[in-house]
């Protein structure tokens, strides 16, 4: 581009040019354009998108896509696991071959574009993908690549189904799934989407196993650090990063062991943690206790690698009581149980006693029921999965059967293998 054309082009892209006739800064086009760029991120990103529309390059597209990402959705470990899944499937390059399957999504280097790879080299799927740079591309490009791998132009119908099923099981661990969103010539077109929408953002801390409402205050409001002023011994606060693949019992047990100077893998550590969690369950709700105990009894052989079942978890926190806050009160501040299958896939389990639908005199209350369903609706719209039991269901052996069946189906839904002890 000529120097004389620089100012008009940049102005058309949305930059503010104080003096279009002033010439170049330091005799450098690059320095001149930088001096015209706004200082806030959103404005720079908006200009970058306009540049991309008119002067597309692969590198710029990657920079723009990466800048639009709020957080890392597909970690290196997640990507490696998905590549491992692809390695186990037949005909990785489908009907079109490496260049047309991968090369239309990721810019291949000159060697890969022109090389004739041997059969053994092509069968090293993970190695080929790593050479293509799959581990370092933006999350958006990675999603496009997964969609390309199951496209009907790449695979026949039976093979496509195998790929969708196998990749879907691995993707659900990170809160994603392949959904049929369209058709082409009678064949399904799949898009990679959040499983059930999912919850945005990352969990920063979990306040749970609460035996009383804690008295909290910010010790550093800028960093979001909190301090429990009263009843610190009545709640547990987990403040380690939650892994993208979910919050497992072993993560919780390692944290518990570190906090109490215990051996992380010792059975005594597991037992002490279990007892502390169970002690937070309200004595007025035997059904909650039955659900909690049956979960551990049924899956005791495998619960180390299962999502932790966290009781009495604070979802919202308001220092005022409902009567003090009035009509603006948060009606559901605490959940009966929470499980995190990933950072975004969060499952809430509620066990309803009479207090959920009756007034203090034990009479059926339409307003109490309305409050409950409104709170459920808000949770679901935020991306949580909500499952509710009537307390009457969870009694005796029939109640234990219901709990076992529920968790069996829940784990199957999320692609988790759980070994039962009985």
Per-residue pLDDT tens over the stretch 377-419: 888 888 889 999 998 999 999 999 999 999 988 987 877 878 7
Position of tokens 């695979």?
A: 155
Whether 263 and 386 map to the same domain: the answer is yes
List, in order, residues 6 or more apart from 161 with CB less than 8 Å away. none
The reply to whether 314 falls in a domain is yes
Q: For residues 48 and 117, state if they share a domain.
A: no
Q: What is the distance between the alpha carbons of residues 169 and 172, in angstroms, rounded to a whole number?
A: 6
Give whichever of 69-73, 121-125, 138-142 has the largest mean pLDDT: 138-142
CA atoms of 305 and 253, how far apart (whole Å) = 11
SS3 227: strand
Both 167 and 271 in a single domain? no
Using a 10 angstrom Cβ sphere, with 0-12 exposed, 13-18 middle and 19 or more buried, the burial of residue 73 is buried
71 falls within a domain = no
In this predicted model, what pLDDT tens digit does every residue of 92-107 receive, in sequence order? 889 988 888 999 999 8
- The domain in which residue 140 lies consists of 76-194
* Cα–Cα dist 134/67, whole Å: 18
41 and 189 housed in the same domain: no
More confident residue, 136 or 173: 136
Residues 6+ apart with CB under 8 A from 290: 394, 395, 399, 400, 403
Domain presence at residue 258: yes
Is 62 within the bounds of a domain? no
Please tell me whether residues 163 and 86 are part of one structural domain: yes
Does residue 419 lie within any of the structural domains?
Answer: no
Q: Of 203, 236, 226, which Cα lies nearest the Cα of 346? A: 203
Report if residue 383 sits inside a domain.
Answer: yes
Flag whether pLDDT at 323 surpasses 60: no
Q: Which of 13-17, 108-112, 278-282, 416-420 has the highest mean pLDDT?
A: 278-282
- Do residues 257 and 389 share a domain? yes
Q: What percent of the chain has pLDDT over 90?
A: 38
What average pLDDT score do residues 239-256 get? 88
Residues 232 and 189 placed together within one structural domain of the fold: no
Residues 104 and 213 in one domain: no
Helix (H) or strand (E) holding 120: helix 119-123
Ramachandran quadrant class, 410 (left: phi over 0; alpha: psi -120 to 50; beta: rest): alpha
Instruction: Assess whether 104 and 125 both reside in one domain.
Output: yes
Alpha-carbon separation of residue 361 from 331, 355, 357, 368, 371 (angstroms): 20, 10, 11, 13, 17
Q: Which residues pair with 178 in a beta bridge?
A: 192
Alpha-carbon distance 206 to 242, whole Å?
Answer: 10
Residue 404 and residue 398 in contact, taking contact as beta carbons nearer than 8 Å: no
pLDDT category of residue 328 using cuts at 50, 70 and 90: very low
- Neighbour tally for 374: CB within 10 Å: 12
Does the reported pTM lie above 0.75?
Answer: no
200, part of any domain: no
Kindly state whether residues 81 and 157 are assigned to the same domain: yes
Same domain, 304 and 373: yes
Number of Cα atoms under 13 Å in the Cβ half of residue 290: 21
If asked whether residues 43 and 186 sit together in one domain, one would say: no
Annotate 336-394 with DSSP letters as a single string: EEEEESSSS-EEEEEEE-GGGTB-TTS-B-HHHHHHHHHHHHHHHHTT-EEEEEEGGGS
Residue 68 inside a domain? The answer is no
Give the pLDDT confidence score for residue 113 in this predicted structure: 66
Asked if residue 198 has pLDDT above 80, the reply is no
> Tell me, what's the pLDDT at 356?
61
Give me the chain's average pLDDT, please.
84
Output the pLDDT for position 224. Answer: 58
How many domains does the chain fold into?
Answer: 3
């Amino acid at each position: 581009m000529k120097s004389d054309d620089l100012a008009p082009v940049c102005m058309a892209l949305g930059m503010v040019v104080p003096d279009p006739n002033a010439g170049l800064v330091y005799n450098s086009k690059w320095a001149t354009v930088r001096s015209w760029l706004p200082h806030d991120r959103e404005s720079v990103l908006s200009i970058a998108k306009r540049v991309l529309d008119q002067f597309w390059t692969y590198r710029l597209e990657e920079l723009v896509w990466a800048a639009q990402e709020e957080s890392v959705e597909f970690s290196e470990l997640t990507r490696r696991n998905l590549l491992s899944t692809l390695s186990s499937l037949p005909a990785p390059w489908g009907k079109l071959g490496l260049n047309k399957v991968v090369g239309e999504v990721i810019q291949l280097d000159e060697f890969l574009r022109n090389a004739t790879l041997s059969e053994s080299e092509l069968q090293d799927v993970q190695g080929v993908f790593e050479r293509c740079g799959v581990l370092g591309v933006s999350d958006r490009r990675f999603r496009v690549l997964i969609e390309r791998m199951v496209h009907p132009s790449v695979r026949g119908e039976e093979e496509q189904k195998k790929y969708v099923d196998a990749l879907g099981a691995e993707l659900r661990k990170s809160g994603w799934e392949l959904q049929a969103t369209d058709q082409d010539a009678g064949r399904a077109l799949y898009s990679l989407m959040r499983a059930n929408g999912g919850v945005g953002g990352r969990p920063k801390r979990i306040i749970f196993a609460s035996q009383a409402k804690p008295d909290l205050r910010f010790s550093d409001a800028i960093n979001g650090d909190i301090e429990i002023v009263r009843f610190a011994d009545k709640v547990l606060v987990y403040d380690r990063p939650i892994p993208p693949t979910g919050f497992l019992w072993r993560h919780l047990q390692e944290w518990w062991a570190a906090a109490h100077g215990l051996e992380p893998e010792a059975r005594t550590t597991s037992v002490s943690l279990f007892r502390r969690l169970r002690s937070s369950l309200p004595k007025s709700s035997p059904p909650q206790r039955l659900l909690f105990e049956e979960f551990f009894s049924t899956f005791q052989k495998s619960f180390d690698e299962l999502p932790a079942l966290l009781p009495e978890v604070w979802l919202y926190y308001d220092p005022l009581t409902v009567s003090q806050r009035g009509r603006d009160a948060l009606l559901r501040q605490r959940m009966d149980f929470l499980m995190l299958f990933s950072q975004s896939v969060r499952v809430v389990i509620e066990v309803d006693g009479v207090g959920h639908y009756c007034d203090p005199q034990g009479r059926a209350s339409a307003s109490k029921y309305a409050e409950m369903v409104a709170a459920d609706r808000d949770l679901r719209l935020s991306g949580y999965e909500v499952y509710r039991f009537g307390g009457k269901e969870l009694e005796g052996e029939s109640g234990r059967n219901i709990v076992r069946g529920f968790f069996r189906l829940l784990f199957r839904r999320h692609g988790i293998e759980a070994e039962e002890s009985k």
